[in-house]
Structure 1
Amino acid sequence: MAQDMLAITLGFRAQKKLAKHPIFGADKRKHIVRQMMDVLADWRLSPFELEGACRAGLRSALCLDGHSWQRADDEAASIIETCLRGHQRPTWLQGQPEGADRENCLGCGQLLDTSDRQMRRVSWCSDLCRLATKIRQEQADDYRGKEVSQRAFYLAQKQQMRKRNCEFCSTSFRPSVEESRFCSSSCARHARGDILEQKECATCRKEFRPSSRSKAGLYCSPVCASTGRTTKPARPCAHCQHVFKPHRHSQLWCSPTCRAAGMKATLAPRICDHCHETFQPARTKAKFCSAKCRNRAAYERSQAT
């Protein structure tokens, strides 16, 4: 008993000593707390649902940096606690969404049997729905937890890197990997000489330089892109020449009537597959000259089989 009390006392003293000497300094700690609050803000049901993944990611990065497991875990727990300060932690029952009584199945949404719901708490209409929901939820939670843990690991590891000056613009930055030489992809492209030519924005008509070859689009900014996609200039109809406002960039006709007439004028005459008479098609896939010939051909095919 005395040895147990001594171990507990030593444990409290060790935690107290670790609290006095945190791993991150004041400025680094403020920065990483702000970054982790952005990561934790992506919650669905509770602000605490990403707590474990973030804590694991921070702890892994600190352990790989040479700190002991206990000290890394204490630092990660302290950072997460600071980020979640002000939120009320839910009870165990509130954290079990499938444990509450409900009217619809958690899997397919079908209305549950009233007699079963009166006898016991039922959340699924069948064992198949229960197993499918469990597998789907486990896969989604596992994927999301790994993603959040990787983000937390990246943020903690980046804070351990020493600042350096960009080789192109001489700006001080903190690299994410040891081999980083430039503060941004733009500086790296300028240093390599991979600079795209300027082009005119399709919305505001201003000259701009695309950020990369994969994003060398028509617009200089997301605002201009949204405006350009929602507003199309008026144009004359390809059939009746009436000026109209199109709903999409590829629209050539002002109405379905003009579209049918325009398509009919551009198609060459063809022979009907049933009566073998020449007709003017209204569609590119038209095979019969009339509905009568189409129905008669369908009837003959059904009789042949």
Structure 2
Amino acid sequence: MGYAVVLGEALVDLLDTECAGAPVYRQAIGGGPLNVAVGIARLGGAVQFVGSLGDDVLADRIRAFLTAEQVGLAGVVTAAAPTTLAVATFAGAEPDFRFYGDPPSYSLLNPDQVDVSLVDDADVVYCGSIVLLAPVTLAAARRAWSLTRGLRVFDPNVRPRLLDGPQALAELRAVVAEFAAGAHLVKLSTADAELLYPGEPVESVAAYLRELGAATVVVTLGAAGALVAAAGADPVRVPAPTVDAVDATGAGDSVMAALVADLLTGGEPLEPAGWTDRVAFALRVAGLVCERPGGAVAMPTRAEVLQRFSG
């Protein structure tokens, strides 16, 4: 089995909670791509994280956490910036993020700092999330995308708070089209689809992304499961398991992690039904994540998933 490269942001989430009846923020290491990397590792996959980290104590904690989770740091660079904070508040299980830190510590990996051999030899390369909104890291992601000989997976992971008006949305939509055109797998959420393509049903969004060139598209539907659009078959809706959700942070990232981990062990499925089976497993992973507080720390092992859903 080879390894995956995950290019994107690592930061610190501040989660709104209470202590002794008073509102406080609980620190949690996060960032969608970091969650994906940790999820891959916990599911048994080898993974290298590629991105920029700040030069403060919080960045040291991120490095230590990734090292403890057996996520490789060969592609990480240190930037002279404080670690970006993502303040999360909740309305139900879904978090609303606001980001603090200028320049963002995750936005300072330039194309020349991309480790060519690390990316070139990877079996799977993931790009996506909010690094696509920063010109420098977008250029780095484009370089990694062009260098790899492995499978390309993409997740726009849109954060509306970071989009400054219609022009920014239009620019992101163009970037999504660009990466989707070269992707073996695109994973996006219903919220991503609604923001990028207002008024379009998820089946139409998946069909559009496949027309652009994406080999397979998975749209997560929250508690309703996911839509899978693979070559040679009509789109299929895969139900999610019934769970007692307490925190949806990282659920979509865990779906991507599970799909990447299975790409590492088995490559692309030969038949559409193979994608359906893999998405069904990924939804079980996400269900277990939703039953646990936190993002990266909630990622399960395969044994934990099999134990939870053994029935």
Q: TM-score, normalised by structure 1?
A: 0.24
**Larger strand proportion of the pair:** 2
- Work out which structure has the larger RCO, using CA pairs closer than 8 Å and 6 or more positions apart in sequence: 2
**Larger helix proportion of the pair:** 1
Give the structure with higher Rg (CA).
Answer: 1
Q: TM-score, normalised by structure 2?
A: 0.23
